[in-house]
Structure formats: structure tokens, C-alpha cells
Amino acid sequence: MKLTMARILVVDDEEDVRSFLADALEAEGHEVVQAADGAAAAERLDGRAFHLVLTDLRMPNMGGMELLRKLRAEQPEVEVIVLTAHGTVDSAIEAMKLGAFEYLQKPISGPAELRLVVERALERRVLLDEREARERVAEGAVRLSYGAAVMKPVESALRKVAKTSSTVLLQGESGTGKEVAARALHEWSPRREGPFVAVNCAALPESLLESELFGHEKGAFTGATERHRGRVELADGGTFFLDEIGELKPDLQAALLRVLENKSFERVGGSRSIQVDVRWIAATNRDLDAMLAEGSFRADLYHRLSVFPVRLPPLRQRREDILPLAQALLPRIASEIGMTAPRLSPEAERNVAAAAWPGNVRELANALERAVILADGATIEPEHLSPGGVIAASPAQDGTLAAIERAAIERALSASGGNRRQAAERLGIGLRTMYDKLKRYEIE
């Protein structure tokens, strides 16, 4: 497969060489930006992402080898072709060790030679992206349902919006598969060859989140010893997934709104505006309407994010999916922990299909992982699924769903000796979600 319209940076201190390279590549339909030396190239690279860099070695201000080292440290995904009229065996070896795709001796015989090498470099970039995409598919990233009727309109809506660049807001309880849905959107979209970058807003401390999103300049704060490219910048040309968007503090809500409106941002400690082209997907298990009413979530950001809202149903409303999902998860979970996948006994299958799963898919996966570890042989029995009795309840036994959820939380707390973090992990839910439920059910 060929990347027919790549962004290419040409770096050479000889203007006639730059012009020759640029003309030859633009004739092939590529977008070409020129820089007269490594320092100017570094500025261009700070402002936007490129697929490929062609650079001379000997230049004023910053040479090609230094530029190559900088690229490998900060933008390892960019392909690099080195050109020089003063090549040596040592410099060629060093360039290759640093990951240069090719090392060409000047003068180049003509446009045909240049285009051939460039095409090969871009093909490698595409092949690497395709391999990552296949790995995501192999992980089950695009399988949303196993036939549950309630999921059919959800999948239909996601497939339709995937063809566009519209911002999508995924809503639903913790563990309902919002990241799986986000990855499916990416795989079904025209951006599937670009990166898919995810950030969980609840998983990072507030002090680190801004730097993780937008990057930082060297010296921006104590410990910032090198320039760091943020996740938004790395997602250029692809999809950016913001999970647990309801956890963003007001200052970061304002910063994110500016990116959505202007399609640009500045790194922490920097002043240069960086342009990005990303498709935004946000997700939350929080009640954003309630947060709007209490003033903890910005209305303007909410309206920017909720262009196309989709609600994912909880696992208890997708009972046709539960058993086939468990059977699909088992070999993957066993492989991840270095064990052979057992099968579910008929009684264990009935228990899995009947359980309430208040923690949804995440709780199911956690229970299966425990069962794989506990099963002594090739078969998972009911006792392997329910250490501490956390998941044994079913709707027929315990009445209302709220009663089932409350009972599951109380059993998880009991099994964890009152440790709320461990109880949340047993249930497959986040700690903040755990606290919300404790407050809702008035559990001490």
C-alpha cells in the first residue's frame, strides 16, 4: 500500500538542492516544506507532524546527524532519509544505527531514484501502521457485540458517524466498553491508517495531565530536562480518545476547549502554536448534565464534545453477549498472564450468563482472570468464579438491580477487609465510581 499524499520536510543548506528535491516530490502529489538547516528544521518539526524527513548531513547551526538524534528522541515514528556529498562509512553506520531508512550519496542521479527511495520509506511507514492496526483487531478492538439486540442501533450509529470527522461523546457505566467503541470508530473511519491515541483523565495526577496532553518544553518545570511531545501532538492525522472526560479540572477544560476551537495548542512552557488535525472522541461514566447544573463542567466544552452522543448499554441489558464475550475473553486473558486457557463448565457458563455484573465487561474480565488462575486443570467451575462471593448474585435471586449492585459492593468490601481501592478492583470499577456508589447507597 502506498501513502500517496505525505507531508515531507526537506532540509539542506543549498537552495538549488532543496528546490530540486521539493519539485520532484511535489510532482508526485506530496506536500513539501523546506528548511535551510537543522535548526530551522527543528522549528518546523515543533509546529507540525511530518511523515518523512530528507536531510543533508553537513549544515550550519545544526547538522543532519544531530537532527536525526533529535527526531529519534522526540518523534521516533518519522522516517528519515540522509543525503550527503561528504559521506563516510562511519557516518553511514551511525545514521543507520539511529534508525535512518536510507543513506544517499549526492549527487542523486535524478528524480526517479529519489522518488523510488521516498516511496519505499513511506511504504514502511504504512506497513508499520497496518501492523499496529492488525494487532488492535487481533485484540478484539472492533468487536462490539455478539448479537445483543440492544447493541444493533448503537453499532449502526457508530458506523455512520465513523465516516465523518464529527466529535463523538460516548456515555455509559464504567466498564461498558467505551474504549472498545472508540477503537472501532477509528478502525471504521478514513483515519484508520493514522494513530489512535488514548488518555484516561482519571488515571493521571492533575499535575501531569496537562504535560501528558500537550507536552512541555525543556525547563518548563522542575524535572523537565528534555522537550516532551504531548499525546495530542502524537495523534495528528488520527484519532484522539479522551476517556473519563468528566474528571478534567476547570483549567484543563478551558485548555481543551481552545484546542477544539482553534485546532492548535502550545506546549507547557512554550509559546509556539502547534497545529493538529485529529478526530476527537470523549467518554465518561459521569452524569454530565448534573455536572453542568452544578457548574463543575463547562457548558461550552460539553457542547463541543457532544456533537454526536452515543450511550453504551450496561452488560445486564446485553445478556445475549455475556457468555460469548466471556468465551472470547478467556484465551486472551490466559495468554496475557502466561497460562493455558481453560474452558467454562456448563454450570460455570450458567453462572456467568446469570450474574449481575455491576462492573460490566471490566468486572467480567477480572472474574475470568481470577478463575483462570484458580482453576486447577482445564475447566473453570463455579467456585473459581466467585472468591468471596462477589459475583454469585443474579437478578432472580436478589430482586432489583440496585439491590444487586449494593449487595455486590458490600461483599467486595467484606472480601477486601474494608479496603475501598481493593474492593473497586475486585468489581472492575474505578475508585471515584466506587465512592459515588458508596455515597448513593449510604454504605459506610
Does 228 lie in the same domain as 204? yes
Q: What pLDDT does residue 349 have?
A: 92
User: Among the three residues 81, 99, 134, which one is the final residue of a domain in this structure?
Assistant: 134
Number of other CB atoms surrounding residue 135 within 10 Å: 10
101/88 same-domain check: yes
Nearest to 213 by CA among 277, 256, 254, 260: 256
Give the Cα separation of 2 and 20 in Å (integer): 23
| pLDDT at residue 201 in the model | 87
Which domain CATH number covers 100? Answer: 3.40.50.2300
Indicate whether 20 belongs to any domain. yes
122 and 169 share one domain: no
Q: In the prediction, which pLDDT does 2 show?
A: 55
Looking at residue 129, its pLDDT comes to 66
310 pairs with which residues across the strands?
Answer: 170
Q: How many CB atoms lie within 10 A of CB 260?
A: 16
Question: Is position 332 within any domain?
Answer: yes
Indicate whether 45 and 14 sit together in one domain. Answer: yes
Give the C-alpha separation, 273 to 343, whole Å: 54
Q: Which residues contact 287 (CB under 8 A, 6 or more apart)?
A: none
Give the Cα separation of 139 and 333 in Å (integer): 10
* Interval 285-298: pLDDT, tens: 999 999 999 999 99
Residues 190 and 301 in one domain: yes
If asked whether residues 179 and 96 sit together in one domain, one would say: no
Q: Are residues 301 and 345 in the same domain?
A: no
Last residue of a domain, one of 289, 311, 333: 311
Its pTM stands at 0.62
**Strand 239-243 to 279-284 pairing:** parallel
Q: Would you write out the chain's pLDDT as a tens digit for each of its 444 residues? A: 456 678 899 999 999 999 999 999 998 889 999 999 989 998 888 777 788 999 988 888 888 888 888 888 777 878 899 887 766 666 777 777 777 888 888 888 788 888 888 888 888 877 776 666 555 544 444 678 998 999 999 999 999 999 999 999 999 998 899 999 999 999 999 998 889 999 888 877 777 888 888 888 888 887 777 778 888 988 999 999 999 999 998 888 998 999 999 988 888 888 888 888 999 999 999 999 999 999 999 999 999 999 999 999 999 999 999 999 999 899 888 888 888 888 999 999 999 998 889 889 988 998 898 888 888 667 898 888 864 434 444 443 444 456 666 777 887 787 777 888 777 777 767 677 777 778 777 787
As a whole number of angstroms, the distance between CA 95 and CA 89 comes to 10
Please tell me the predicted confidence (pLDDT) of residue 373: 86
State how far the Cα of 13 lies from the Cα of 106, in Å rounded to an integer. Answer: 14
Give the model's pLDDT for residue 394: 42
Same domain? 303 vs 341? no
Residues 173 and 276 in one domain: yes
213 and 96 within one domain: no
What CA–CA distance (Å, rounded) separates 3 from 151? 35
The domain that holds 367 is classified in CATH as: 1.10.8.60
| Helices (H) then strands (E): counts for the chain | 20, 16
pLDDT at position 160 is 96
pLDDT of residue 403: 66
Structural domain range at position 342 = 315-440
The predicted pLDDT at position 89 comes to 63
CATH of the domain at 238: 3.40.50.300
- Residue with cell string 509556539: 272
Q: What pLDDT, on the 0 to 100 scale, is given for residue 281?
A: 97
Q: Are 216 and 265 in a shared domain?
A: yes
Alpha helix positions (H), 151-267: 152-162, 178-187, 206-214, 231-234, 250-262
| Cell digits of residue 101 | 531508512
Q: CB-hemisphere CA count at 13 Å for 279?
A: 25
Q: Which three cell numbers stand for residue 150?
A: 440492544
C-alpha cell at 166: 464529527
Last residue of a domain, one of 134, 164, 180: 134
In a domain, 139, yes or no: no
How many Å apart are CA 60 and CA 71, to the nearest integer? 18
The span from the CA of 155 to the CA of 215, in Å, is 34
Count structural domains, the chain: 3
- Residue 2 is assigned to a structural domain of this protein: no
Say yes or no: 239 and 366 in one domain.
no
